Chain A
């Protein structure tokens, strides 16, 4: 009688029987029980049952219709579009950040007054070029100057004027920078400026009324100025013991003329001034005291010197 309940006492018995995992002895014993035939009938009938038919293809089709739009996002192509778009955007931003604003005044041109994005003011002399970044300039106030300019700097971040001779940096002040082909002049009219020379790395801090000049060589010459504004802004150029070459260069800039020299010694020093509004007077006031005669071409573009 103990066999009768084996399928009840062993919780895995019927399960193992259904999977044909019983031992031969277990099967033999089980087949003798009353219940065996009944379980067998249940099992055989159950094994013939079928689940409702399935149409996999239709179901998959249905799913794909729903996820079709997702597929595009996941497929690889859009990454290429995204990459291409990113490159375009980056290039755009790159050129945006690097876009520059530049002011150019030709030789013989008018002076130009510029108000920079931060409110600082610049007066540009003739024959000068000033360049700065167009965007986010306020975060890094750097200008590039070729020629001469007078600066009134608003207080704020460091304000730097880059020239071929070196950089002039300030916090808020008024100063004049002259960075011509062969000579450099820096006059500080208010506050303080710092000059870092390009070639020697020398640096110099200028306070009110200080001035420095560099001519041809790299030696920094210190001077004093007593003026409130640069001479050139009053339509006059003043020289103090400057080589004639420097004077002639300035004349070329202000009047857009060129000089042709033969035997004239252009290294002689000149002290004096010339006005910006009359070429004849300017030439006379500079060359006559030096004992140099000159001839002006008809188109007033060339000055012939001996």
Chain B
């Protein structure tokens, strides 16, 4: 605390904030609304709001301020359409050459089904599940982003697993 406070009005501090949190914030909003363009617009607008209030916002508090703005912005937009998440194609694994084409197809097929199942999760479960699995955020970090307790994050995470298993059902059997 004794350190001199970083002012967000200084460009390099603002840039640092942007580089640290833009991607997570965008993904978070994307997981909620399923519209990449909308997510990017919301988060970029949120950063502009942070900039406009740079004199009022302490650097350390900017992160939660940012997520709050994003959440409110999304809530204010019209009911978003059914979430359809598109994930980048899984990276080709080095050992893939050894696997049969059938197996590759199977894996690809399962991945699509999982994506659908994730999209059908409730917003609350989906955002926690994906922030953890894709963005590799700890439950503590997710709790900060979503503004809920760590216990609640863990509960949502567990429920997400259970609901995904239920949704995938027979597809899980080899």
Contact = CB atoms under 8 A, between A and B. Distances in A.
Given A13-B158, A39-B165, A67-B52, A53 B88 contact: yes
Interface string B6-33: 0001010001001100110011001000
A221 interface: no
A18 B161 contact: yes
B48 A38 contact: no
B86 A49 contact: no
Given A41-B110, A74-B9, A46 B19 contact: no
A42 B47 CA distance: 35
A59 B36 CA distance: 13
A46 B128 CA distance: 13
Nearest to B153: A15
Given A38-B165, A54-B23, A49 B90 contact: yes
A15 B36 contact: no
B155 A11 contact: yes
Contacts of A8: 162
A60 B168 contact: no
| Residue of B11, B30, B161, B165 most packed against chain A (CB within 10 A) | B161
Contacts of A59: 18, 22, 26, 40, 43-44
B70 to A, nearest CB: 14
A63 B133 CA distance: 29
Contact of B87 (A14, A51, A67): A51
Contacts of B91: 48, 50
B18 A60 contact: yes
Contacts of A16: 154
Interface size class of B (residues with CB under 8 A): 35 or more
B113 to A, nearest CB: 9
A24 interface: no
**B contact face: mostly helix, strand, loop, or mixed:** helix
A42 B133 CA distance: 10
Interface string A19-52: 1000000000000000101110111011111111
A30 to B, nearest CB: 12
A43 B138 CA distance: 15
Interface in A131-186: none
13 contacts: A10-B158, A14-B161, A16-B154, A18-B157, A38-B168, A42-B172, A50-B90, A51-B27, A51-B87, A54-B23, A56-B22, A63-B48, A66-B44
Given A49-B115, A49-B134, A74-B55, 17 more contacts: A7-B161, A11-B155, A12-B155, A15-B139, A15-B161, A45-B107, A48-B90, A48-B111, A51-B134, A52-B36, A52-B87, A54-B23, A56-B19, A59-B26, A60-B18, A66-B44, A74-B9
Interface of B: 9, 11, 15, 18-19, 22-23, 26-27, 30, 36, 40, 43-44, 47-48, 51-52, 54-55, 86-88, 90-91, 107, 110-111, 114-115, 118, 129-130, 132-135, 138-139, 151, 153-155, 157-159, 161-162, 164-165, 168, 172
